[in-house]
Structure 1
Amino acid sequence: MRPVDPLAEVRAITRGTVQAAMEVLAGIRPIHQLARRLDPRCLAALQHRAALIRREITRTGNPALARLHRNSTVRSVRVCEVRDGVYEGSAVVVDDVRARAVAVRLERSKQVWRVTELVIG
């Protein structure tokens, strides 16, 4: 069995989680798919933001809002260990409308990485 490089593992988890979160905001991925990766507070905040976006699109019919978060691509990911079992990372995401920064904090608990902070710019 090959030893796991924690930095590479956290980088991959960060990339996948950020991509999935952007897809939730775009309305093309169900939020429950992130339930195992995000802690309950982060999951609730992401769900709330997605609901606000959907509500505003329905209310205004603004085509620019409908393009928000569409075709998101994670361009780069950087992570660093802040203490044993805790990493912080950042990602640059580009979509149809703009580029944005995303910050995450991952903590290892019972051999599972959990996102405990998710801030989408």
Structure 2
Amino acid sequence: MSTIAISPRSANTGYYQPDIYAANLPDPNPAGATSAADPCQAPAHLRRAMDNIFHRSAVYRSEHRAIVEISHAVARAVFEIVAGYRTVNQLAFVMEPSCIAKLRRRALLETQCYTLEPLPGTAHGQIISLHLDRCISGSWECTVILGFKYRVRAVALKIQPWHGRWQVTDVELI
């Protein structure tokens, strides 16, 4: 299981370096050079050995990055739909029709008591954590926890490859 904790400071600092283990890249920390920002850098020969042991390929890293980006964007959009800030049709390019119908029903249930303007603090949640599990079938199961002004909510997504792109095939709101 992969766990990614996203905080506002991780986007502006060097903590998140997805290509640090790329086998074709030169060693970012040559022998003898130490960096105060990244003191636990593994040598290049150990990184290559670990990539072979754990079967981490460049394809897997790019796939993982794509899933993180999709789940991050879709999770926020789902809660903006439920809050009444977006229309369900904006996710039609990335979701199956059954998921769109499920979101439409949920949005109608949750927004039936809203006025013309959605309640303040119901959208623009901050992603607290993102958990990814890769299934044997090649699909990914993602759980995203978002913090809003007055509450914390979670969404579970199942993302599968479909005709050369990724598609959300199941969505559950918690």
When normalised by structure 2's length, the TM-score is 0.59
SS of the equivalent of 2:113 reads helix
> RMSD in angstroms over aligned alpha carbons?
2.0
Is the 1:67–1:97 Cα contact (8 Å) retained in structure 2? Answer: no
User: 1:66: Cα distance to partner?
Assistant: 3.2
Q: Which runs of 5+ in 1 are unaligned?
A: 59-64
Is the 1:80–1:89 Cα contact (8 Å) retained in structure 2? Answer: yes
User: Which of the residues 66, 71, 82 maps onto 1:25?
Assistant: 82
CA distance in 1, matches of 2:148, 2:64: 26
User: 1:68: Cα distance to partner?
Assistant: 6.7
Q: Confirm or deny that 1:85 pairs with 2:153.
A: no
Percent of aligned pairs with the same residue? Answer: 25
CA distance in 2, matches of 1:16, 1:120: 15
CA distance in 1, matches of 2:136, 2:164: 16
Aligned partner letter, 2:164:
Q
CA distance in 1, matches of 2:76, 2:129: 11
CA distance in 2, matches of 1:77, 1:27: 23
Structure ranking higher in strand proportion? 1
Structure ranking higher in helix proportion? 1
User: 1:9: Cα distance to partner?
Assistant: 0.9
Deviations 1:11-65 (A, max 9, x none): 110010001111111111121110011111111111111111221335xxxxxx9
Q: Which runs of 5+ in 2 are unaligned?
A: 1-57
Tell me the matched-pair count: 114
Say which structure, 1 or 2, has more relative contact order (CA 8 Å, 6+ apart): 1
Q: Confirm or deny that 1:98 pairs with 2:155.
A: no
